[in-house]
């Protein structure tokens, strides 16, 4: 592995000259930092499905670059033919993972660019798509930074923070969402003590969160998923910060499997749970968590992956949902780039979107506190 710090790598990058999407292959971490180039729809689909690129915001940006590159290949000057091919590729990429709404959100946003430029020559539409995808990446960085600023108001110097899965820089284009307050606090001398759940079965907490936080000099302690109760009972945790894959209009939140257990344990020990959510992850079309499709993953991730020898009997039934839903009443606040939404979320999330619309310009994010 090179001497380069993991934080210096781009999670997702456009290599337009070579018509490729470049990603840091997260399945190789922490052992090896390898950048891979993806050119075909199948390569991009597989990278998303296999979690080579993962984390809701990073998936969104990868899909935006991906659909631009696939649209760029369309060899036609006719808008109808171009749009048909665009939609075919869009549907294909969208089928890679169902839970993180950022995937369909990013692809729909790219489709809107096609529609808005329908009267222009196809070459100009391709340029507009490229511009939009680049803007989405830049926006992600600004959004994460704003989430970090709001999140930082919820904690104080020396606090213990527990996080689950990886909602870090590796899951976004910079800062992360749940880690953004931690990184900003680190820069400002807050000396947080972070507990990272290892996050079975794919170990995003151990392989990615513990890795990126320790590479950044953050005081991080890795724990197994079944240890969060112990550290909370010890009084070592002042707040839980997690990311999310889809927030419903009532505040129910889908995030990595195990998040709902952390939230239930945190309620027992009166530790507030904050969900860090870019507005791109809030799905106002979905009323409650019951409507969120939960991705089911293959059994070998539980029985064999990561083990030298298989650790379960052949043929045993395996249930392997990638995400679970945390009920809104277990969430103390939803930290967005437009402020912190508090219960009742049906009202405060609407207010967040009203502020977003009012701001018009996504780079303008006034500070505010919502709800009670
Ligand atoms: O299956 P993954 O690794 O893509 O799951 C990721 C998570 O659950 C993250 O917490 C979520 O996407 C937020 S990332 C800022």
DSSP symbols for 63-123: HHHHHHHHHHT---S-HHHHHHHHHHHHHHHHTS-SS-HHHHHHHHHHHHHHHHTTTS-HH
Tell me the CA distances in angstroms from 188 to 102, 118, 142, 181, 253, one per residue in order.
Answer: 31, 48, 18, 10, 30
CA 144 to centroid of ligand 1, rounded, Å? 14
Closest C-alpha to 26, from 172, 184, 148, 192: 172
DSSP state of 302: H
CA atoms within 13 A on the CB side of 214: 13
What is the CA(59)–ligand 1 centre distance, in A?
Answer: 9
**Best residue among 49, 62, 182, 245 to mutate for probing ligand 1, ranked by most atoms within 8 Å of CB:** 245
What is the Cα–Cα distance from 235 to 222, expressed in whole angstroms? 17
Residue 54 Cα: closest atom of ligand 1: 4
Best residue for ligand 1 mutational test, from 56, 180, 262 (most atoms within 8 Å of Cβ): 56
What are the φ and ψ backbone dihedral angles of 52, each rounded to 5 degrees? Answer: -70, -35
pLDDT of residue 164: 98
Q: Containing H/E element for 147?
A: helix 122-152
The answer to whether the beta carbons of residues 216 and 335 sit under 8 Å apart is: no
Closest by CA position to 60, among listed 9, 127, 132, 126: 132
In this prediction, residue 2 carries a pLDDT of 66
- pLDDT computed for residue 360 by the predictor: 84
Distance 75 CA to ligand 1 centre (A): 35
Residue whose Cα lies nearest atom 6 of ligand 1: it is 55
Strands 333-336 and 253-256: unpaired
Q: What is the pLDDT of residue 300?
A: 97
Determine the Cα–Cα distance for residues 259 and 143; give it in Å rounded to an integer.
23
Q: Return the ligand 1 atom nearest residue 323 CA.
A: 8
Atom of ligand 1 nearest to the CA of 55: 12
pLDDT of residue 208: 98
DSSP E strands in the chain: the ranges are 12-15, 20-24, 35-38, 160-163, 193-197, 219-223, 239-242, 246-248, 253-256, 273-276, 282-283, 323-326, 333-336, 339-341
pLDDT below 50 — which residues of the chain?
362-372
Using the mean position of ligand 1's atoms as its centre, give its distance from the Cα of residue 291 in Å: 19
Active-site residues: which are they?
245
Pairing of strands 239-242, 339-341: unpaired
Which of 54, 176, 281 for a ligand 1 pocket mutation test, highest count of atoms within 8 Å of Cβ?
54
């Amino acid at each position: 592995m090179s001497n380069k710090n993991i934080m210096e790598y781009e999670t997702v990058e456009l290599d337009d000259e070579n018509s490729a999407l470049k990603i840091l292959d997260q399945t190789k971490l922490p052992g090896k930092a390898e950048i891979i180039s993806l050119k075909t729809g199948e390569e991009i689909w597989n990278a998303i499905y296999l979690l080579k690129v993962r984390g809701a915001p990073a998936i969104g940006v990868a899909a935006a670059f991906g659909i631009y590159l696939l649209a760029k290949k369309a060899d036609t000057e006719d808008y109808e033919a171009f749009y048909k091919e665009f939609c075919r590729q869009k549907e294909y990429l969208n089928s890679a993972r169902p839970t993180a709404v950022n995937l369909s959100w990013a692809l729909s946003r790219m489709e809107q660019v096609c529609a808005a430029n329908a009267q222009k020559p196809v070459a100009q539409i391709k340029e507009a798509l490229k511009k939009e995808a680049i803007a989405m990446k830049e926006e992600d960085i600004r959004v994460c930074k704003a989430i970090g600023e709001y999140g930082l108001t919820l904690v104080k110097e020396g606090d213990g923070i527990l996080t689950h899965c990886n909602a870090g820089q590796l899951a976004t284009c910079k800062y992360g969402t749940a880690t953004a307050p931690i990184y900003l606090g680190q820069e400002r001398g807050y000396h947080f003590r972070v507990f990272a759940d290892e996050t079975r079965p794919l170990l995003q907490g151990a392989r990615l969160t513990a890795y990126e936080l320790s590479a950044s000099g953050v005081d991080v302690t890795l724990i197994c998923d079944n240890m969060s109760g112990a550290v909370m009972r010890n009084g070592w945790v002042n707040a839980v910060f997690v990311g999310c894959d889809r927030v419903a209009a009532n505040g129910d939140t889908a995030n990595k499997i195990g998040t709902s257990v952390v939230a239930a344990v945190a309620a027992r020990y009166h530790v507030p749970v904050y969900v860090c959510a870019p507005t791109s992850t809030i799905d106002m079309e979905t009323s409650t968590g019951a409507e969120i499709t939960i991705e089911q993953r293959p059994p070998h991730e539980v029985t064999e992956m990561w083990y030298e020898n298989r650790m379960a009997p052949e043929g045993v039934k395996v249930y392997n949902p990638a995400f679970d839903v945390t009920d809104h009443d277990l969430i103390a606040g939803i930290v967005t780039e437009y402020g912190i939404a508090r219960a009742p979320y049906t009202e405060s999330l609407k207010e967040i979107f009203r502020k977003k619309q009012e701001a018009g310009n996504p780079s303008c994010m006034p500070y505010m506190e919502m709800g009670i």
